[in-house]
Amino acid sequence: MTSGGDAAGMNPAIKYAATYAKKCGLSPYLVEWGLRGLIEGWVREATPDRLAGIIHRGGTVLGSSRSKRFYEYEFRKQAFENLQHHGITKLIVIGGDGSFSALNQFYADFEVPFAGIPATIDNDIPGTDYCLGVDTALNMIRQSVDSIRDTASSFSRAFVIETMGRHCGYLAITSALANGADVCLVPEVAYDLDSIAERLRMQKKQGQKYVLGIVAEGTGMGDTLTRWMGEALGMDARLTVLGHVQRGGSPTVYDRVMAHNFATAAIDGLLAGERNKVVTFKDGHIGSSSISEIAAAKHLVNPSLVKLCEELSN
Amino acid sequence: MTSGGDAAGMNPAIKYAATYAKKCGLSPYLVEWGLRGLIEGWVREATPDRLAGIIHRGGTVLGSSRSKRFYEYEFRKQAFENLQHHGITKLIVIGGDGSFSALNQFYADFEVPFAGIPATIDNDIPGTDYCLGVDTALNMIRQSVDSIRDTASSFSRAFVIETMGRHCGYLAITSALANGADVCLVPEVAYDLDSIAERLRMQKKQGQKYVLGIVAEGTGMGDTLTRWMGEALGMDARLTVLGHVQRGGSPTVYDRVMAHNFATAAIDGLLAGERNKVVTFKDGHIGSSSISEIAAAKHLVNPSLVKLCEELSN
Amino acid sequence: MTSGGDAAGMNPAIKYAATYAKKCGLSPYLVEWGLRGLIEGWVREATPDRLAGIIHRGGTVLGSSRSKRFYEYEFRKQAFENLQHHGITKLIVIGGDGSFSALNQFYADFEVPFAGIPATIDNDIPGTDYCLGVDTALNMIRQSVDSIRDTASSFSRAFVIETMGRHCGYLAITSALANGADVCLVPEVAYDLDSIAERLRMQKKQGQKYVLGIVAEGTGMGDTLTRWMGEALGMDARLTVLGHVQRGGSPTVYDRVMAHNFATAAIDGLLAGERNKVVTFKDGHIGSSSISEIAAAKHLVNPSLVKLCEELSN
Amino acid sequence: MTSGGDAAGMNPAIKYAATYAKKCGLSPYLVEWGLRGLIEGWVREATPDRLAGIIHRGGTVLGSSRSKRFYEYEFRKQAFENLQHHGITKLIVIGGDGSFSALNQFYADFEVPFAGIPATIDNDIPGTDYCLGVDTALNMIRQSVDSIRDTASSFSRAFVIETMGRHCGYLAITSALANGADVCLVPEVAYDLDSIAERLRMQKKQGQKYVLGIVAEGTGMGDTLTRWMGEALGMDARLTVLGHVQRGGSPTVYDRVMAHNFATAAIDGLLAGERNKVVTFKDGHIGSSSISEIAAAKHLVNPSLVKLCEELSN
């Protein structure tokens, strides 16, 4: 099952999970349209033709949804009966922490254990350094910035690019690093526009032709920074809001390999008797965290990235 | 010289023009930063190292600019003296109709003939079916739409995509056709939101999962259509404004081949004694139009494209 | 039906043909796996779910095949009975001239008229300037050459790239033009290795760092040219055979638009009573040629391309 | 300095190293054309215009070379004098273990310490889990395989793809995993063609339409496997040798971020007094290994990848 916001890497995770489950002697099923599908009973066997030709496709072929009804016991009960009907005794959910909490409640009600696979381009699930979809999103952003750079350098203009990221600046900071941006604003780091302007004026004086700024959606600063740059530098300044272009695209190799590693670890964990854990990637190794650990923890961006960002926010 | 808004295909045009000029026994120069560079005298010989490794790059390595000073005789005179200084007797300008008019006035003053190469992603220069940069822009839009489609299909959502195009819907209509959009709004075609909503409701009833709309910037309808779709269809609806991502990117083969054909035709025309003509592509053939013909004409989008759009605007 | 070698643009052509047929009040069917499917009766209604999400996919979702059995009357009769069974009275075949001949014979036997849509990356069907798949193939080649150029320029090496094209050098010549190659060998143009070597030696002396050669498969000269370059220039020289990478990839906008224009013209023609014509693109306009005209004609590459190639073959 | 085979990520490493060196108060220089440039004295200050617009380019803008002369003391002495001339006291070399050994000898002679940054698409330098260029190469392979898959699925064919990798199957195995290949042959893992054929025949019987095999260059098995597949499965089988397409391409975000981390660690190490160490990435952390550790170690592919490959080699 996929649930919550879509992310590249969900399709390979579906494929690897189903394939590995079969290797382990299990009979995998696919739940369509997330929690809503669980309630409605949109459940099918994972036959080879359902899994063919999906490894290289973005989004999720199972569909996703947000379902408020799942908060109500009555609908969870209905979901449980659907699973019983097919003889399904364990769940794998690919999604974010909202989905994991929902299934944790489901376990409290009906004792159907699940394993969570973290997938969100915001990369903000506590306990794991990596969530599926992030590498693909970063590379989609990279391609857009490379294209915008063509115009910026043709005109000696200032360009501000707004990436996704409501509470977490991971995408923005990493993109600023990878694309050589001059300015980066994210929710986690304080910024000083005057100090930025002074720095950029000096860079311009030293011969720099164009300016690139990257802003995380969550700062709400896209328009303001663009106007500010235009005025402070006396340059034509433009804002581009990348939007949903970042979410799609064929999963990169990194996302496919991580999808494989997460999917097989999720099944291994369930078979070993683990209950309600989320598979994680920490310090270069696959592991797992319990739902309570994740709920108690707070996601923090890597301090070295924060430090890099500070240089670009001042 | 490149002038006006940047477009993919400018760099190959620079390269082919300089290379072909040398083959014809001429000594080509490069003017940097457009009309401003003409005034400032930023003119250099087209040496091989200046032309190496540019054929596959977006934007223009010469830079472009918009110069109001060129309206004044005094600055045009300065530009003329710069050309005389280098012994430059003919100009090739890659850009839009504003740049062509400016050089027409320059000719009236100092009798320096020029040939224009049409380049603008809006594809709205009268007299030619094609302007450099259009094919690359269409393919950049295609890649963005393909990515957005991943999310749209994962969620059964409505997505509206705003393309560039102030007065001309060419990019939007062609993208709607190429990407199988359900709705298309452009400045040239009247639309009826009620009729669109009715049609989409029917398509949804017949099993269509997600909806794609494409809107040209010039309609100013991006927000309105998105809200309308959300309400009329009871679907989550999102707007993506593609912005400057459309302008950049490595020139496609079509843009490179057209850049070659335009550049060689421009030089052949100047050598044959033509004055102040813009090279054109009509009915599959390279030709040329005089500046006065272009100034008198009105750009019209191909009627068959307008007809296609009418089906998507109602 | 798609038949013969696959080409990008086949999927959009299938989609546009089926959609437009419905608009015209017809009931379109899809034949799977080409002529073989016609014989076996692998024929299905063109329902919306069969046509969803195919416009941006390379190859052909219908599958293709080469069938020798179709030469035998007995199997053609079986094919005819399959069509009768579904009430199918007209055919659209997307493919090459072999497939068109086969269906011409089928018409002679059973009077089932067809319209042909030219699709082959070789661009060698007489009577049309364009065949579906060519623009996508050229852009796949462009991306590969751009990548190889990175290495060539890092090492001052000579690289030879072999494109597809058994009898026709269109892909190779256009790629040589679009990628700024120094050498191009194709079946249609005589070449002189000594003269090439002398020219390249001079270019190297003038400071050129690396050398790019493009060779059409049909010349069989990939290995020889590579060795020759290495010896004549005293450079490390490498051959890359692009192979089937050229055939696939998401169809470009040009291929999608041409697919639309060909597909609607094919249906318009059949409805207007045309018999056994192939839709064509000549001088910038959609038209059609009869099978006999095509069979009698000889495909010739555009003389201006041949001339360009001559400069790179000597 | 870049040295040895080129790899994507070299350019960002150059840029980050020079930028960070300046931040640390150093005066960075650039050596062109690798060891050869060291001997010839092709050394220049790292001025901003030399570093502009390189972060997104494949290969190395500094050029690389292989130099046998560096084995001779006389030429190393000349190289040392070149460094003295510019007051250069420390070296950073981006390349492979051959280059590191050469500079180790150089240190033995003249006590010029260096830091190595591992860069090779083969990912076979002992002591580090990652070498620059690998992620970009894997994604170039992915795009080629996605394109080939279009044809394979259109025809129910068998396709064999040969990746680079002389002694190391890392690229091939990871690509097999990421692209869902059915067969994978690498130098490190024994294979059994009969067993493979039996497995594929069964898969075909169960409805699988096409077959993908991936072979590392070092096995020399490309042709043999392709023929074998064709015969054993009675399918049309084709080989594609990806060649130098794998080496180029704009560096992915992962390669850019690793380039940053390696480059700053190399400078931090040199400033902290480390001598002749290679920066490494182990268990998710940046560290370093001495040249002697690297020379003594043997590179081994991750055992879990080997296990995955065993399933595809039998």
Under a CB-based contact definition with an 8 Å cutoff, are residues D3 and D35 in contact?
Answer: yes
Q: Are D210 and D152 in contact (CB under 8 A)?
A: yes
Q: Which of D148, D151, D244 sits opposite C238 (nearest CB)?
A: D244
pLDDT at residue C3 tops 90:
yes
- pLDDT of D285 > 90? The answer is yes
Q: Which residue has the tokens 């309570």?
A: A292
Who's near D309: CB < 8 A, 6+ residues apart?
D169, D173, D176, D184, D186, D188, D189
Question: C135-160 pLDDT, tens per residue?
Answer: 999 999 999 999 999 888 888 899 99
Q: Are C17 and C2 in contact (CB under 8 A)?
A: no
Compute the distance between CA of residue D30 and CA of residue D15 in angstroms, rounded to an integer.
10
Beta bridge partners of D132: D119
| CA atoms of C226 and A291, how far apart (whole Å) | 60
Given an 8 Å threshold on Cβ–Cβ distance, is C249 in contact with D59? no
Distance CA A314, CA D66 (A): 44
Q: Answer whether D228 touches C (CB < 8 Å).
A: no
Closest-approach residue (CA) in chain D for C148: D245
Nearest CB to C178: which of B49, B174, B253?
B253
Token pair recorded at residue C233: 């220039």
**Does D156 have pLDDT greater than 90?**
no
Q: Check CB contact of C154 with chain D, cutoff 8 Å.
A: yes
Judge contact between D157 and D238, C-beta under 8 A.
yes
Mean pLDDT of D246-265: 96
- What is the value of pTM for the model shown? 0.95
The CA distance from C28 to C14, in Å, is 10
pLDDT, tens only, B107-120: 999 999 999 999 99
**CA angle A167-A171-A172, nearest 5°?**
85
Kindly state whether A154 is in contact with chain B, defined as any CB-CB distance less than 8 angstroms. yes
Asked if A212 and A242 touch (Cβ cutoff 8 Å), the reply is: no
The DSSP code for C67 is -
The per-residue pLDDT for range C20-37, each reduced to its tens digit, is 999 999 999 999 999 999
Residues of D within 8 A of C34 (CB-CB) are none
- Give yes or no for B98 touching A (CB within 8 A): no
Which is nearest to A274 in space by CA: A291, A295, A261, A294?
A291
Strands of C91-95's sheet in order across: C91-95, C114-118, C277-282, C285-290
Is C239–D243 a contact, with Cβ atoms under 8 angstroms apart? Answer: yes
Contact at CB, C6 and D239, closer than 8 angstroms? no
What pLDDT is recorded for position D114? 96
Query: What pLDDT shows up at residue B297?
Result: 83
Q: Using a CB–CB cutoff of 8 Å, tell me whether D60 touches chain A.
A: no
Contacts of C164 in chain D (CB under 8 A): none
Shortest CA distance from D149: residue in chain C? C248
Q: Is A142 on the interface with B (CB under 8 A)?
A: no
pLDDT, one tens digit per residue, over B258-280 is 999 999 999 999 999 999 999 99
Residues 6+ apart with CB under 8 A from B240: A241, A243, A244, A245, B144, B148, B159, B160, B161, B162
- Of the candidates B138, B179, B256, which has its C-beta nearest C178's C-beta? B256
Among A79, A44, A88, A77, residue whose Cα is nearest residue A62: A44
> Do C154 and D238 make contact, defined as CB atoms within 8 angstroms?
no
Spell out which residues of chain D touch residue C151, defining contact as CB-CB under 8 Å.
Answer: 6, 58-59, 244, 247-248
The domain defined by B10-133+251-298 carries CATH number 3.40.50.450? yes
Q: What is the largest CA-CA distance in chain C?
A: 71
Q: Which residue among the candidates B6, B122, B135, B255 is catalytic per the annotation?
A: B122
**Which residues are CB-contacts of B303 (< 8 A; sequence separation ≥ 6)?**
none
As a whole number of angstroms, the distance between CA C175 and CA C146 comes to 11
Residue to test with chain D: of C94, C154, C245, most D Cβ within 10 A: C154
Cα gap D301→D216, rounded to integer Å: 13
Q: What band does D4 get if pLDDT is binned at 50, 70 and 90?
A: confident
Integer Cα distance of C168 and C300 in angstroms: 8
* Residues D177, A56: C-beta atoms closer than 8 Å: no
Distance from CA of C252 to the nearest CA of B (A): 7
* Segment B117-132, tens digit of pLDDT: 999 999 999 999 999 9
Predicted local distance difference test score (pLDDT) of residue D155 = 86
Predicted confidence at residue B296, as pLDDT, reads 84
**pLDDT for position D16:** 97
Residue D288: closest CA among D261, D260, D265: D265
Highest mean pLDDT pick, A167-171, C11-15, D233-237: C11-15
Check if the beta carbon of residue C268 is closer than 8 Å to that of residue C26: no
Q: State whether C239 and D239 contact (CB < 8 Å).
A: no
The CATH code that applies to domain D10-133+251-297 is: 3.40.50.450
To the nearest whole angstrom, how far is the Cα of A70 from the nearest Cα of chain D?
A: 35
Cα–Cα distance, C180 to C189 (Å, whole number)? 18
What average pLDDT does range D191-220 have in this prediction? Answer: 93
CATH architecture group of domain B136-248 = 3-Layer(aba) Sandwich (3.40)
In the predicted model, what is the mean pLDDT of residues C119-134?
Answer: 94
Please give the pLDDT value at position D207: 85
Which residues of D are designated catalytic? 122
Mean predicted confidence (pLDDT) in D270-275: 95
Element (H, E) at A15: helix A10-23
C247/D147 touch (CB, cutoff 8 Å), yes or no: yes
pLDDT of residue A198: 93
pLDDT reported for residue D7:
94
Pairing verdict, β C43-45 and C29-31 = antiparallel
D190-228 as b/e: b if 16+ CB within 10 A = ebebeebbebbeeebeeeebbbbbbbbbbbebbeebbeb
Question: Hey, what are B83's tokens?
Answer: 């050309």
* Residue B60: predicted pLDDT: 95
Distance CA A245, CA A249 (A): 8
Q: Provide mean pLDDT across the span D249-277.
A: 97
Query: What whole-number distance in Å separates Cα of residue D103 and Cα of residue D276?
Result: 8
Under an 8 A CB cutoff, do A241 and B244 touch? no
3-state secondary structure of D87: coil
Indicate the domain borders of chain A.
10-133+251-297, 135-248
A36 touches chain D (CB under 8 A): no
Residue C148 contacts D where some CB pair is shorter than 8 Å: yes
The answer to whether residue D299 scores a pLDDT higher than 90 is no
Average pLDDT over residues D82-86: 96
Q: Which residues of A touch D149 (CB under 8 A)?
A: 53, 56
The third-level CATH classification (topology) of the domain covering A135-248 is Rossmann fold (3.40.50)
Pairing of strands D277-282, D285-290: antiparallel
Domains A10-133+251-297 and A135-248 share a fold: yes
Q: Is C6 a catalytic residue?
A: no
Distance from CA of B258 to the nearest CA of C (A): 10
In this structure, what DSSP letter does residue C123 have? -
Residue C207 in this model has a pLDDT that exceeds 90: no
The whole-angstrom separation of Cα D80 and Cα D61 is: 23
Q: CB count, 10 Å around CB of B78?
A: 16
Minimum distance, in Å, between the CA of residue A188 and any CA atom of chain D: 20
Please write the tens of the pLDDT for every residue from C176-193. 999 999 999 999 999 999
pLDDT band at B298 (very low <50, low <70, confident <90, very high): confident
d(CA A289, CA B55): 51
Judge contact between B297 and B127, C-beta under 8 A. yes
Closest CA to C130 of C19, C3, C258: C258
Query: Burial, D136: exposed, middle or buried (Cβ in 10 Å; 0-12, 13-18, 19+)?
Result: buried
| Residue among A6, A122, A124, A255 flagged as catalytic | A122
What is the C-alpha separation between C156 and C167, in angstroms, rounded? 32
Other CB atoms closer than 10 Å to residue A90's CB: what's the count? 17
Mean pLDDT throughout B280-295? 91
Q: Which residues of chain A have pLDDT under 50?
A: none
Question: Are the beta carbons of B291 and B101 closer than 8 angstroms?
Answer: yes
* C260 and B CB contact within 8 Å: yes
* DSSP, residue by residue, C259-287: HHHHHHHHHHHHHTT--SEEEEEETTEEE
Chains that touch D (3 or more CB pairs under 8 A): A, C
Furthest CA-CA distance within chain D: 72
The pLDDT tens digits of the residues spanning B216-225 come to 999 999 999 9
* CATH of the structural domain C135-247, one choice from 3.40.50.460, 3.30.70.890, 3.90.1150.180, 3.40.50.620: 3.40.50.460
Among chain C residues, the shortest Cα distance to B147 is held by C56
d(CA A1, CA A61): 10
Structure tokens at B228: 């309308």
- The values of phi and psi at residue C150, to 5°, are -55, -45
Q: Is the ipTM above a cut-off of 0.90?
A: yes
Sheet holding D211-216, edge to edge: D183-185, D211-216, D158-163, D237-241
Which helix (H) or strand (E) segment holds residue A163: the answer is strand A158-163
Q: What is the pLDDT of residues D91-144, one digit of tens each?
A: 999 999 899 999 999 999 999 999 999 999 999 999 999 999 999 999 999 999
| CA pair distance B187, C171, nearest whole angstrom | 38
Residue A74, C-beta contacts closer than 8 angstroms, at least 6 positions apart = none
